Amino acid sequence: MEFFFDLLSVLVLLSSFVLVSNKKITAYIKTFQIQSALIALIAGIMGWSIAVNEDKYDILIICVIIIALKVIFIPHLLYKTYGNIEYRVEKDFFMNIPIIVLICCGLVVFSYFSVSNIGSLTGFHINHQVVNSLSVVLIGFFFMISRKKAIGQIIGYLVIENGIFVTAMFSTNGMPFIVDIGIFIDMITAVMIMGIMVTRINKKFESINIDKLSKLKG
């Protein structure tokens, strides 16, 4: 079982590297969708194990919610939002892709040494699952600040949430059900608000490049 969790955590981390190396917004959304599907698989395996051994079904319900929200609903909402804005060819990142990937590699190394100093998590060995998921949080944050377009920043926020969720799962074998539901409600609210903001920014500036917001300075 641990082998599968290790493998899936590596795949989730690799999906973050695929995300930062992409240049198109549609690719961002597709990569987030795949990453969310991997996290749903982790939740499904963990939930099934807990259901069999402890007769609790909370994590299985969370797995279904992840599929409904992150794999289906939110990507559809983002595709719809992107489809409603005027398409313009604009560079979406502040740095070149190879430099961004190297920085992300540095974030993984930073996560490894950070987790290695937390005795309560590691015991006598490094918890590679937590290292990988914490790296996803940091990469998501870096992706968010390295992109110029508003939809890219929304994806960065969602990847941060994915990383936090899977870190909590690997650290505690699942958070309380009510906490997970609260996080999902906050996430949906934030995505819908940001989607409205993207549309308004595009109507005002005819672009979703956040550099245009500098025009608001008086």
- The reported pTM is 0.81
How crowded is residue 169: how many other Cβ atoms within 10 Å of its Cβ?
24
User: What pLDDT is stored for residue 20 in this prediction?
Assistant: 92
> What is the per-residue pLDDT across 39-95, written as a single tens digit (0 to 9) for each?
999 989 988 888 888 888 888 888 898 899 889 988 888 888 777 765 554 566 677
User: Bridge-partner residues for 147, per DSSP?
Assistant: 93
pLDDT at 19 over 90: yes
Identify whether the C-beta of residue 202 lies closer than 8 Å to the C-beta of residue 213: no
Question: Residue-wise over 190-210: b if at least 16 C-beta within 10 A, else e?
Answer: ebeebbeebeebbeeeebbbe
Quick one: average pLDDT of 101-116? 90
Residue 122 makes CB contacts below 8 A (sequence gap 6+) with 115, 116
**CA atoms of 152 and 129, how far apart (whole Å):** 26
Is the predicted pLDDT of residue 210 greater than 70, yes or no? no
Percent of the chain with pLDDT over 90: 26
Query: pLDDT value at position 41?
Result: 93
User: Band of the pLDDT at 138, cuts 50, 70, 90?
Assistant: very high
Provide the CB-side half-sphere exposure for 153 (13 A, CA): 16
Sign of the torsion angle spanned by Cα atoms 186, 9, 29, 114: positive
